[in-house]
Amino acid sequence: MSAPPKQNYMAGPSQDAIDEFMNTTEEVHSVWYGVCESIGIKIVSILDTPDRRVCLEEIHYVALGLVAGCLAGAVIAGAAVTLSLALIFSLRDAVIAGMAGAAWVAIVLLRGVAPGVWDQIRAELSA
């Protein structure tokens, strides 16, 4: 008599979702196109037709890259604030100010800048 199949009671995404996430170079490139757009490098406008088609198919990865680029900019700004203020004030105060600065930059980028960039990306891909 064979044993019953083992049940997977792990919380989180299914194995199919894990296997599908960013498993091709086209998906990784779509993320990088979004990151480039978030930091001001207008790469989507110069893509050739096959790359545009892939970006339209994997538009969620472009959005992931856009958000990741905005958050990376916020972390860099927060680190700059922290390092600058650490020279003047205590390290504890500088870290708190840096975290507040990073949060502010993240809010400004994600709420103010990203929607406009997202609209531009979608318009350029659809053209």
Asked if 85 and 98 count as a contact pair (C-beta separation under 8 A), the reply is: yes
pLDDT in tens, 66-87: 999 999 999 999 999 999 998 9
Using pLDDT thresholds of 50, 70 and 90, give the confidence band for residue 26: confident
pLDDT value at position 22?
72
Residue 28, number of CB atoms within 10 A of its CB: 14
Residue 105, number of CB atoms within 10 A of its CB: 21
Report the mean per-residue pLDDT for the chain. 86
pLDDT value at position 10?
61
pLDDT in tens, 104-127: 999 999 998 899 999 999 998 887
pLDDT value at position 3?
67
